Structures are given as C-alpha cells and as structure tokens.
Structure 1
Amino acid sequence: MMTTPLLQALLPLVDDLSRELSEGERYRRLLSALRTLIPCDASALLRLEGEQLIPLAVDGLSTDTLGRRFLVSEHPRFQALLAHPGPTRFAADSGLPDPYDGLVERHAGQLEVHDCLGCPLFIDEQPWGLLTLDSLDPARFAQSDLDNLETFARLAAASVRASGRLLNLSRQAAAEHQLAERYRALAGQVAHAELIGQSAAFKRLLQEIDTVAGSDLTVLIGGATGVGKELVAQTLHARSLRAAQPLISLNCAALPEALVESELFGHVRGAFSGALSERSGKFELADGGTLFLDEVGELPLAVQAKLLRVLQSGQLQRLGSDREHRVDVRILAASNRDLAEEVRAGRFRADLYHRLSVYPLLVPPLRERGRDVLLLAGCFLEQNRARLNLRGLRLSAEAQAALLAHTWPGNVRELEHLIGRAALKALARQPQRPRILSLEVADLDLLPAAAAAPASSPNPPPASSTAIDLRQAVEAYQRQLIQAALQRQQGNWAAAARELGLDRANLHRLASRLGLK
C-alpha cells in the first residue's frame, strides 16, 4: 500500500493530466514532485533518441546541462540504467564515472556525485528515457527510495503517454524524432547536429522553419557569419517532403570564379583545359532533393544570369554542351550580405534576388538569444569532454556569467571555437590530468567589448625620434586592419573583404604581399 508521502507526490501528476501546461512547465512540475518525494541535490528527465540521451528538464544541475547530448555508449551508468527495467542505485564507491560530476549547482567545492539513483521510463514497452537523482551525500538514498521511484516512474510514464503534450507524443517531439531518423538515413552520417535553444528568438525561428519546411518554396536564409545558417538549411531539408532525397551543398565563396559554373551545372569533356571527362554539376546531383547555395551573394553576375534561367525553367546545360537537362530541385540559399542592398549597388541581379527570397528567413544572432549561450556551451563542453577523454568538463559560475555578458560578434561559431580552445588551455595548465576539468574566466580569453568592436579609427603609431619609412608604416597599418577584420570574422576571408570594402581576390593578394598568408 502506498505511503502518504508517495500519494502526496503522485496526486499533482494526476491533476496535471487535465491541465493546459507547456512542455517545459510540465517537466519542471514532474521533477519538483520527484524531489519532494525523494530529497536529493539534483534530478533530471532525459529522453532517449537513437543512441543519445537528451536532457529535457533539470533541477539542481547547471543550466548548460540542458544543452549537452549524452552518447549512451560513452556513459556506463546510463547504459546500466537503460539495461535494467526497474530502479538502479549505484554504490558510493562505484568506479563508473558519473555524467553529472561537476554539474551539481550546490557543490560547495565538491564536484563528484556520491549517491546516484535512476530509473528508465517505458512507453508501449519500449524504453523512452530516464529519471535520475543524484546526491553529494553518499548515504542519501535508501531501499524505500527505490520502491517509491519505481512507482513514480510508472505514473510519470503514464502521464507522458496520456497527456499527448509531453515529449515524443507531442507534435514537436514527433517532428524532432522524425528529423533524427531522416538524418541517420543520410549516407555517411552517424549522428546529426541539431538546433539547440529555448529563447523566444530561437522559438520564433523554429516556428518559421515549421511553417515553410513542408513546402517547396525557395528560402533565403539571412544572418551574420557564424549564426548557423547551414544547420538551418539542413533542418529545413530534413523536415521537408524531400528529406529522403539528397541535400547537396555548395559554398559559393570558396570556389574560384572560373569553376563556379562547372560546379553548378557540370561540364563535358574538353569544355575547358583540364576537363578530361564529363561531370555532373550540383544541380544534377540534387535532382529530386535540395540544393543549398551558401554565400550566394558571392556568385559572379554572369553566373547569376544562368542560375536564374535554371530556377525559371528547371533546365540546364552542362558547360560546353548544347544538350539540356531537366532537374527538379528545391533551392535553399544563404548569405550574410544584405542582398537587397547588393541589388541597389548593382552587385546582385534584382530578378534573381526576388526568385531566391520567396520566403526570407532571418537567423537571430547569438547576442539576442539570452541564456541559449549556456545551452550551446553545454553541447560543446560535452563534445570536448569526449574528445579529451575527461570524466567531466564544466564551467565555473564566473565563466558562465562571462559568457552571458559577452556580445558574441562571431556568434555560435565563435562560441564553439572558444570552448574548444579554453578546454585545451585549461588542460595544459594542470600539473596532472584531472578527473573533472573546470573552465575559468581566464581560460575563455574573451575580448572586452571595446576590443571586439570594429576598429574604424585605430590609434596612429606614437611619435618617435626614430625615423620610420612611410611605406612600412602604411603596410603595418594595413596588416593591423586585415588581422582585426579576420579575427572578428572568425577567419572568413570573404566576410573580412566585405568589411574592409575590398574585392576578395584583391584582399588575398594584399595579404600575401604583407606576409599574412
């Protein structure tokens, strides 16, 4: 017979079945009820998706935990929990690493979890996810807690199944599951990157993706360098009716001008010097599927005209051939330029712009996404933890605050590279390899706001009694401007050229002359 505390914890879950609650609020209430029943330092609800566990709600764990993706194969405790149909408690002296080491918020200097309890959730007799409880006190849990957790887990699973709003039975979770399956079906891919976030700006982006993904409309994805435009394109394709067909990508900024036409439309043997055989272009490779044109604003005007013809008629000719090929391709394009302004400046065709921007989709910069910074940081921390073979990789509270205060001129790409560098730097300064590595503010090497701002008028060199050659001074000044622009643009030469008002080829030549390449 159930005890009164157990009844008190379960009744709110029963009441919630008839309430209109957001998924996040439902998860939060579920964990709150669990911690009322079984006091602990931290709890979590995780969904099993393929080979990884995705945290849906945490209580008492660092915010960045929500952004982490735990590969089951890398975490023996999660493997053990999923292998047993009932609750499992790990001994305080268990040698199995705990995935939450270093993530408990109220650790008071103690980073490792010492008492761990967990139970799988089953839907239609299939493993759906996990409930976990952790404590820094090695004697926190007792046998009665295992019994209570088993009963609680059954009702939690029933509420998931019955509500129609929780996780994989909700429309959004079903779509996410379908997205994962489609990505796994793509040749050569074992896992897929995913869009991560909970901010209002991020949710608006997801709503727009859902609105347009199922159509065949051409989408122009805008946004600054590093916001994740290619990932948005992958998500649009994966949620489209063409998901089972190929997604072909072409970075228009990375190709020499002489090869762009061949890459897009293909060529026949002898079409130009070095064309030793026939070759299909990206359009033919993407037939039936989707073609993603990244940095489309970099296309030469002559190629823009030919691209427009293909978009209008669905027909193309390989370079050097008179034969026409018909293709059925959905176009997704991206640019960090303002293409409307490029049209006004005469650098981009107006008719092509209108063909590409049937549905414009703007990806918000990271600085507008609030605490999504910590979720994304959690994802990158978990990736680097596995690469560096660490038991735990975490951010100190001060480091988290610094990430939230930064303006992120390089967006998500900047954050990804920053976390990777910080992990290596922090590991290098350790006298011996730690079990849990904490990243501090000094490891992050965040530039202050003033240093991150464009250097429109750098200070002139100080006056000196030593004569300086004018040409050397000019070259030093040019070198300073180029290096600063490249740093702000995360090494993207095309973006740096636009910032400096130069043609990309001219910038490369100048950089070579200045010894920067």
Structure 2
Amino acid sequence: MTPSSTMLAALLPLITDLTHDLPDELRYQRLLDTLRQLLPCDAVALLRLDQEALVPLAVQGLSDDTLGRRFLVSGQPRLRAILDAPHGIRFPADCDLPDPYDGLVQAGSGQLAVHDCMGCALRIGEQPWGVLTLDALQADRFSDDDLQLLHTFASLAAATVAASSRLKALSRSIEEERRRADAYRLAAAPTSQRLLGYSTAFREMMAAIDLVAASDLTVLIMGETGVGKELVARQLHAQSQRADKVLVSVNCAALPENLVESELFGHVRGAFSGAVSDRSGKFAMADGGTLFLDEIGELPLTIQAKLLRVLQGGQLQRIGSDREHRTDIRLIAATNRDLAEEVRAGRFRADLYHRLSVFPLRVPPLRERQRDVLTLAGTFIEQNRRRMGLRGLRLSAAAEQALLAHSWPGNVRELEHLVARAVLRAMGRCSRAEIVTLSSTDLDIATPGVLPAHAAGLPPAHPAPAAPMPLRTAVDLFQKQLIQATLQQQGGNLAATARALGMDRANLARLANRLGMTAKGQRDAGE
C-alpha cells in the first residue's frame, strides 16, 4: 500500500464522521486515534482556546487528571508559540522552554527527558480555536515531512470541530445559543469554579440541567454536603432565559431566626428595633432574575408558611408595611436533607415541599462518579500549582490509586481540601523549581469508615452500632456528640461553641433543640 493510500485509509473514517452527529468526546478521541496512526507518538492532546486558557478536550498518553487542568497561555510559552505560528511548529530537543506536560506523560517519570515535540494551531475562519500537540520520548522522532503532515491534518481537524459546532447549532435556537455562551463565560471566569465530569452519573445530571434550565420551573436540588449544589444552581441560571439578569444566593442555614423574614422579604424604617432605614429583601433584589435558597431545609416553620404564600401569589409584604409588592423570580432551592422524611417528622411543611419539588434534581455524590475523581483532582492540582508558583505538580501512581479507592464522604469539597493539604505537605520536602509529585502519604486518606488524622478536635470515635440504623439517625447522633464535646471544651459557652463550629449562635441553638439537647449548663458570652 502506497503512503498516499495509507493516509486515505486512515482519514476516510474521520471524513465520514463529519456527516454524523457524534458526542464530542467520541469525535475528538477518533480524531486523536487517526493522528496517531499517521504520526506515531507517545502522547497527543487536543486543547480548546477558552479566553486566556487552553482546556484539554481529549488526550492520549497523558495522565487522566490532565483533563481537569487549564493551561494559561501567558504561563506556557510553548503553547503560546504554537498558537501564534501560522503553520505547525517543532521544538528542538535542546529547547529550554518549559513543557506544559512535564510530569504528565504516562510513559515518563518526573521531568520529561530529551524528547521530540511539535504542535499546530487549529483555526476556524481566521480565528484560533485551539491546538493539537504531539510528544515523543525519542529524540528526533519527527521530521519536516511529519510537520507538514500535521499542518495538513490540522485543516481536517478544524473542519471536524467546525462540523460538530454546526450540527449542534441546527438543534438549538439563537436564544438558546446565546444562553449557552453566557453559561460558558460564567464557567470560565477566573474566580468561578465549573461543573466538570465525564461519568455516566454526571452526564445524566447535566442532561437534566439542559432539560429544565430554559423553563421557569422551580427546581429542588438535592444532594449531600460538598457535591456542588451551588454550582448546579449557577449553571441552571446561566442556561435560563434570565441569564442576563441577577442571580441572588441565600444560605438559609446562616440566617439568624429573628432576621430571616427581614432578609428574605425586607422591612421598612421603624418596623423593629434597629430598623433605621427601609431595606429591600432578597426577593426584591432578585426581581426579574433567579433566587437561589440554599439549605432551605433549615428554615423555621413560621418562615416556611410566609415563603409559601409568596410563591403561591407572587406577592410579598415587607415587615412593617401594609403594601404588597409583586415579584417575578425563578426559584431554585437546595438541601442536603431528605425533605420527604422531614415532612413526615413534622419539621417541614408538606405544601411547601410540593411547591418546591416541581422538578427535583439530584446531584450524585462523588463515590458514584469514580471516573471523575482524577479529572477533578487535576483541576485542583492545577489551581494549587498556580497559587503556589510551582513549576510542575503531579500525582504518583500510588496517589492516583488512593484517590480512586477512597469513598469520599465529604464529596468534591473534601477532594478540593485534601489536594490543598497534600500540596503543602509535598512542598515541605521539595523545591519550587522541581516537578513536585504528590504521594499517597501526602494525601493522608484514611481507610473507609475512619476519619483521617487531620480531623482534629472531633469527639472520640465511637464503635459502629451492632445493628444498622437509618442514616438520618446516625447523622443526628454524630451532631449531638460533636456539639456536646465542643460545648464542654468551651466551658458551656454557647456563642463560643457556635464560633468553633463555624455556625451562627441562633442556628446552633435551634439545631440543639431539634436534637433534644438540654440547655442546662449552656450560657452566652458575657455571662
């Protein structure tokens, strides 16, 4: 078979793909498969330009956590050179520019040895869309002819991504396209986090978001602590018809009981002691946009009744005022409680529960998203690498296995904090100029069911009950033990206990009352 016929045979499936509506992940992987047939190498990556960063969409030969990283173009001179070059570019083996994949090539160990590297920008029209990069651990693996072949292939790759974009546009209206672009800009903002994942559970959640976002239906987001319920709420708003309006977030658990009504509905001057001026509540602030009530299961029953009235009629009254104000909001609520069980226990109104759960949306815990653990870890590793000014940061094979084996009771938030602590531990024995490798020891992940060593200050661990108990009962038992132990440490001072637990004093008192704890021996600061 001649070289030209070999090339045609490799490219034919890719050309056929242009006429099919394939998932982006599959389309991009087939693109890289074809490229490696034509140009054998140890690692290849497709990255999309997203404002000032290049985001990996598909990789082969690189560690799984690469997909969670964002490579700032300003900090990656090789990627900058590839983007700026009118044609493909090859870096000499003795090039002193840092390689963005140091520590990430699976066939390597630590810093990349002398190797061959080339890349080419992908352009749609005259605008840069992204880059293709190839790495081979063998020096002088690529030739000038290979570079020309890569440049030719890049044109077909650009046609592939352009075709994918056009096929999507056919199934969406102009307004939906605008809202999606707004969502991407919000997710890409330097100070914001983004929803990220590839697992089946994550895809199902994203499909539910796509289904309900454009409507004005009330959404009840359910999920354990740390799964990212607020990020889901932000995504729903960003894809809604109200995306160009305000999103107002309220943490119901942080509101003192005597101020909840004022915070939500507002008050007029003189309505109560300390009301020295009129104040608009969160509902008024969110008028025309979206109101997100986080931890709604913590609202007192009296406030639940008033909230229900506002949701039913769309009208509210400020405290101290007889005037009714009409408000137009899209409501999103979130809770880590089983509200159906709370209704049965008399702690949550049944009519409000049904009003909120028009569209229930469950956020899966991290233990159901095992495929996403390394991807998310890559995101947090890259954030910490930039924050700490490190040259490179990677996971050891043992650390990857430890992450995959963990049950993640604290979900994504636990993973984020665990990575941050691990980076600090690793920096204690390494130089910033090195490629820092996080070991399983740095991660300090406890065995399943046992709290890690860093969880200091918790009450002594109790043996597991001989017979299983409902999860809610177990959680209540733990909360009661923790509050009692902290109260004892703080000499019975309720305010100091609340500060130690990171809670508002009124919320702590309310929780203690729900748990059936006696107030005997508890006192406020200053007593």
After TM superposition, the score normalised by the length of structure 2 is: 0.84
- Is the counterpart of residue 479 in structure 1 residue 489 in structure 2? no
Give the structure 2 partner of residue 458 of structure 1: 462
CA shift, 1:270, in A, is 2.0
**Given residue 18 of structure 2, which amino acid in structure 1 is its aligned partner?**
L
Give the structure 1 partner of residue 145 of structure 2: 144
Residue 507 to residue 86, structure 1, CA distance change in 2 (3 Å): farther
Please tell me whether the aligned partners of residues 103 and 392 of structure 2 are also in contact (alpha carbons under 8 angstroms): yes
Give the structure 2 partner of residue 464 of structure 1: none
Give the structure 1 partner of residue 239 of structure 2: 239
CA shift, 1:86, in A, is 1.4
Give the structure 1 partner of residue 62 of structure 2: 61
- Is the counterpart of residue 93 in structure 1 residue 94 in structure 2? yes
Q: Secondary structure at the match of 1:101?
A: coil
Q: Secondary structure at the match of 1:450?
A: coil
**Given residue 247 of structure 1, which amino acid in structure 2 is its aligned partner?**
L
CA shift, 1:477, in A, is 11
Give the structure 2 partner of residue 263 of structure 1: 263
Encode CA deviations 1:453-504: one digit per residue, 9 max, x unaligned.
99997159xxxxxxxxxxxxx9999428999xxxxxx97759xx99x98348
Residue 426 to residue 27, structure 1, CA distance change in 2 (3 Å): same
Partner Cα separation in structure 2 for residue 160 and residue 222 of structure 1? 35
Residue 211 to residue 90, structure 1, CA distance change in 2 (3 Å): same
Partner Cα separation in structure 1 for residue 238 and residue 411 of structure 2? 24
Please tell me whether the aligned partners of residues 29 and 58 of structure 2 are also in contact (alpha carbons under 8 angstroms): yes
**Given residue 429 of structure 1, which amino acid in structure 2 is its aligned partner?**
R
Partner Cα separation in structure 1 for residue 76 and residue 172 of structure 2? 29
CA shift, 1:19, in A, is 5.0
Give the structure 1 partner of residue 375 of structure 2: 375
Aligned ranges 1:338-487 → 2 under 5 Å? 338-430=338-430, 432-452=431-451, 458=462, 478-479=484-485
CA shift, 1:36, in A, is 1.8
CA shift, 1:345, in A, is 1.0
**Given residue 449 of structure 2, which amino acid in structure 1 is its aligned partner?**
A
Q: Secondary structure at the match of 1:271?
A: coil
Gaps of 5+ in 2: 453-457, 465-479, 490-499
Give the structure 2 partner of residue 275 of structure 1: 275
Partner Cα separation in structure 2 for residue 102 and residue 409 of structure 1? 29
Please tell me whether the aligned partners of residues 57 and 66 of structure 1 are also in contact (alpha carbons under 8 angstroms): yes
Gaps of 5+ in 1: 461-473, 484-489
Give the structure 2 partner of residue 12 of structure 1: 13
CA shift, 1:5, in A, is 5.0
Residue 83 to residue 248, structure 1, CA distance change in 2 (3 Å): same
Residue 513 to residue 376, structure 1, CA distance change in 2 (3 Å): farther
Please tell me whether the aligned partners of residues 222 and 335 of structure 1 are also in contact (alpha carbons under 8 angstroms): yes
Partner Cα separation in structure 2 for residue 381 and residue 508 of structure 1? 45
Please tell me whether the aligned partners of residues 475 and 514 of structure 1 are also in contact (alpha carbons under 8 angstroms): no
CA shift, 1:115, in A, is 2.7
Partner Cα separation in structure 2 for residue 410 and residue 36 of structure 1? 43
CA RMSD in angstroms comes to: 3.6
Residue 79 to residue 511, structure 1, CA distance change in 2 (3 Å): farther
Please tell me whether the aligned partners of residues 267 and 279 of structure 2 are also in contact (alpha carbons under 8 angstroms): yes
Provide the identity percentage: 61
Please tell me whether the aligned partners of residues 114 and 138 of structure 1 are also in contact (alpha carbons under 8 angstroms): yes
Aligned ranges 1:14-29 → 2 under 5 Å? 14-19=15-20, 21-29=22-30
Residue 13 to residue 259, structure 1, CA distance change in 2 (3 Å): same
CA shift, 1:190, in A, is 4.8
**Given residue 46 of structure 2, which amino acid in structure 1 is its aligned partner?**
L
Give the structure 2 partner of residue 486 of structure 1: none
Partner Cα separation in structure 1 for residue 217 and residue 389 of structure 2? 44
After TM superposition, the score normalised by the length of structure 1 is: 0.85
CA shift, 1:268, in A, is 1.5
Residue 213 to residue 163, structure 1, CA distance change in 2 (3 Å): closer
Partner Cα separation in structure 2 for residue 413 and residue 304 of structure 1? 29
Task: Tell me which moved more, 155-164 or 389-398.
Answer: 155-164
Partner Cα separation in structure 2 for residue 513 and residue 30 of structure 1? 67
Aligned ranges 1:148-167 → 2 under 5 Å? 148-162=149-163
Partner Cα separation in structure 2 for residue 131 and residue 177 of structure 1? 28
Partner Cα separation in structure 2 for residue 151 and residue 7 of structure 1? 13
Please tell me whether the aligned partners of residues 186 and 192 of structure 2 are also in contact (alpha carbons under 8 angstroms): no
Partner Cα separation in structure 1 for residue 212 and residue 245 of structure 2? 18
Encode CA deviations 1:35-88: one digit per residue, 9 max, x unaligned.
122222100011122222221110100011111122223322222221222111
Please tell me whether the aligned partners of residues 222 and 363 of structure 1 are also in contact (alpha carbons under 8 angstroms): yes
Please tell me whether the aligned partners of residues 199 and 370 of structure 2 are also in contact (alpha carbons under 8 angstroms): yes
Give the structure 2 partner of residue 205 of structure 1: 205
CA shift, 1:259, in A, is 1.4
Give the structure 1 partner of residue 512 of structure 2: 502
Partner Cα separation in structure 2 for residue 507 and residue 493 of structure 1? 17
The aligned length equals: 490
Aligned ranges 1:21-60 → 2 under 5 Å? 21-60=22-61
Give the structure 2 partner of residue 312 of structure 1: 312
Partner Cα separation in structure 2 for residue 362 and residue 54 of structure 1? 27
Residue 422 to residue 476, structure 1, CA distance change in 2 (3 Å): closer
Encode CA deviations 1:142-165: one digit per residue, 9 max, x unaligned.
211210100010111122223558
Partner Cα separation in structure 2 for residue 288 and residue 65 of structure 1? 40
Residue 3 to residue 250, structure 1, CA distance change in 2 (3 Å): same
Give the structure 1 partner of residue 474 of structure 2: none
**Given residue 277 of structure 1, which amino acid in structure 2 is its aligned partner?**
S
Please tell me whether the aligned partners of residues 301 and 349 of structure 2 are also in contact (alpha carbons under 8 angstroms): yes
Give the structure 2 partner of residue 127 of structure 1: 128
Please tell me whether the aligned partners of residues 10 and 38 of structure 2 are also in contact (alpha carbons under 8 angstroms): yes
Residue 151 to residue 514, structure 1, CA distance change in 2 (3 Å): farther
Partner Cα separation in structure 2 for residue 327 and residue 231 of structure 1? 25
Please tell me whether the aligned partners of residues 455 and 481 of structure 1 are also in contact (alpha carbons under 8 angstroms): no
